[in-house]
Amino acid sequence: MTATADHPAIKPRHMSMPFEQLDTPYFFDNNALLSAFFAALSSTFPAGEGEFIASVRQYRDKIKSPKLKEEIRGFIGQEGHHSRQHERVNEALRELGFDAVALDKDLGNYIQKHVVNRSDKFRLAMTVCMEHLTAILAEHLLTYPETLENLAPSVQDLLYWHAVEEIEHKSVAFDTFMSIEGDQKYLRWCQVYATLFFFHRIGWYTIKLLWWQRKMPSWKEFKGFWRFMTGKKGMFTGVTKNYLDWFKKGFHPWDHDNMDLIERWKTEFYREDQDMKLQKEKDKLKAAS
């Protein structure tokens, strides 16, 4: 599939999850290590997606394709809503003792000091590479949703919704970069850098969350974490092939044609009561009746 092929519509969904129902920082199977990992992951989204939006915006006026311009608009809207919901869950986790808000600020400071002063090409390339990482993780979660069955329901709903929109807009930054810069070799180099950065940052943040709580995971928790990451349906082992596809000559994100997962989310995971736009429309109808 190429940049000119049909892509799914990229329309932001105004979802809101009941994070007030969270009552423990160990919201994933009562496993401190797994919970800290996902809290660390969530902590990076507000600042990280803010940078994704900024890096794409810098190229928006250079784009000639009306279709790609419309996709960029949808990408910005979706990423903006993701940031707001992750801010909410980060605040809930902070109240429970996992200060994901502090980590978000830490990443924001890092981006301001070490990223925004880099070239536009580098910033967009990093966004493209991070979007590939999130897209293949999203595909894994929606392909094997049972891997999250022991996760708090509100966080499950957040991740499934976030995942489907990551799939919908997974080629926007890529197509933007290729339409202006056209340097896929540069993207392959940046992916190595982006991957190392991702593992370092998430790993360090996971350790910090546990350190702040003075929590040493038990051997059982270590085994549960290792099984989740490297088991038959493990998060890391399950994305290895899709990750390596990035380095094939001429690769495009929609070479992974997983539009069926978008329909799966709509039929299995969409929750009307979490759709803020739909609820507003219902409230208007009630007021008018």
Give pTM, 2 decimals: 0.94
For the cut 90, the answer to whether the pLDDT of residue 1 exceeds it is no
Split at pLDDT 50, 70, 90, the class of 254 is: very high
283 within a domain of the structure (yes/no): no
Q: Are 243 and 136 in contact (CB under 8 A)?
A: yes
Assigned token pair, 143 = 């392909």
70 within a domain of the structure (yes/no): yes
239 within a domain of the structure (yes/no): yes
Q: Are 215 and 49 in contact (CB under 8 A)?
A: no
Question: How many domains in the chain?
Answer: 1
Average pLDDT, stretch 220-231? 97
The torsion defined by the Cα of 198, 14, 242 and 65, in degrees rounded to 10, comes to -100
Q: Which amino acid is at 145?
A: P
Q: Strands (DSSP E) along the chain, which ranges?
A: none
Average pLDDT, stretch 175-203? 98
**Whole-number average pLDDT of the chain:** 95
In the beta sheet, which residues pair with residue 64? none
168 within a domain of the structure (yes/no): yes
pLDDT at 2: 42
For the cut 60, the answer to whether the pLDDT of residue 5 exceeds it is no
Phi/psi of residue 233, nearest 5 degrees: -115, 35
Assigned token pair, 125 = 């390339």
Q: Which domain holds residue 147?
A: 25-260
Assigned token pair, 281 = 């429309």
10 within a domain of the structure (yes/no): no
pLDDT at 144: 97
pLDDT at 7: 79
pLDDT at 218: 97
Split at pLDDT 50, 70, 90, the class of 288 is: confident
129 within a domain of the structure (yes/no): yes
Percent of the chain residues topping a pLDDT of 90: 92
154 within a domain of the structure (yes/no): yes
For the cut 90, the answer to whether the pLDDT of residue 186 exceeds it is yes
With left for phi above 0 and alpha for psi between -120 and 50, is residue 98 left, alpha or beta?
beta
For the cut 50, the answer to whether the pLDDT of residue 3 exceeds it is no
For the residues of 125-148, what is the DSSP string, one character each? HHHHHHHHHHHHHHHHHHHSGGGG
268 within a domain of the structure (yes/no): no
- 116-163 pLDDT per residue, tens: 999 999 999 999 999 999 999 999 999 999 999 999 999 999 999 999
